[in-house]
Chains A and B, each alone.
Chain A
């Protein structure tokens, strides 16, 4: 199961590539599967490819959910 981790597009590069930020960590990915992408958009990534574009509110809710999940995992481990 691939968790849907949203990433913010911070720079559009040539050849359908882009730089995204995942919680402050930058990563270069392919955006060949998505049209009309702009800086500030949020995308869901899988193995170095942006799969879908999601709106910022949805991205925020997803990040909150993942934080909650991570906290639960910490709780289970402690």
Chain B
């Protein structure tokens, strides 16, 4: 179907000899959801969101629901808030896993079956409305762990079974062909939420198309979550990012087992921004997702704004550009594949086109 808005990102890498002199990003354009949603009852839109968003649909629903509740001044009980975190965590786990296999890493029959097993088992745990009995939960988690083990994930942090297909993939993505520069890293955290949602509701698409915080364009996602837990090296290549993703999958699995209670922290946060105005942040696989709404007296949508993690990570002056600019690149296909792998490790939620140009040949 011919959409009237761009649903992919164009990335142009400008080379000066072996050095990446510049990186230009043409972002996707945001669909006019505010125009589509305006005047409609807020509650009627909740089932529409999974129809629109193929990735992180649970996170979108939770963000929207929490933003609407905040706008209405509703207090959510602790039990409800806790119950909502599980499907967000389950979705984060499955998105992180699927992201490892969608793209450059070709699935063979065994690994495809294992990924499918995780996705299928996760649907049992992913419902916010249905309680899952302890025996069933245990059974499902055993299935997930067995499938992850078949993929080479041993369940111990980022360790991978030697000789597994995933270990070979991480090894191949080890950054040979690209020497990323050491850059000062900046990460989006829950402490930034209020400023982000306030700007989002005030400036709408102007802000969400190119978000910033006092000139700062922080990174969000797996690497940012890792940085919250432990110091991270200033030059983060593809292999380090893939390993961090694998480690997080193990941690989320442990969270679902009740072993690691930190992994779900900050998964959902909501903010009342005045009468009829509310916002929420949800920590999904690719980072912090924001929704902000303004409602009229009849709880109909007056404004609806959202900001996806990809807008930060693929900002024209954002984390991906900082990771590439100034890097030394091997000649030919090998170097280009390495750049493609690094972009993939940032895991954009849309497809991307990558091209290389020589400076002086513009």
Q: Which of A's residues lie within 8 Å of B, judged by CB?
A: 1-5, 16, 22-23, 30, 32-35, 44-49, 51-52, 58, 61-63, 65-77
Contacts and interface: CB of A to CB of B under 8 A. Distances in A.
Contacts, number: 110
Contact of B3 (A1, A48, A61, A66): A66
B1 A23 contact: yes
A52 B36 CA distance: 25
B51 A58 contact: yes
B1 A63 contact: yes
Contacts of A76: 32, 35
Given A3-B31, A32-B112, A68-B36, A46 B54 contact: yes
Contacts of B54: 2-5, 44-46, 51-52
A9 B55 CA distance: 20
Interface residues of B, number: 37
Contact of A65 (B52, B56, B115, B349): B52
B77 interface: no
B210 to A, nearest CB: 15
A33 B112 contact: yes
Interface string B44-61: 000010111111110010
A2 B4 contact: no
A74 B2 CA distance: 12
A52 to B, nearest CB: 8
A5 B55 CA distance: 11
Contacts of B112: 16, 32-33
B107 A30 contact: yes
B35 to A, nearest CB: 4
A5 B102 CA distance: 17
Contacts of A5: 1, 3, 7, 54
B36 A3 contact: no
A72 B55 contact: no
B98 interface: yes
B35 A2 contact: no
Given A1-B310, A66-B3, A75 B51 contact: no
Contacts of B55: 1-2, 46, 51
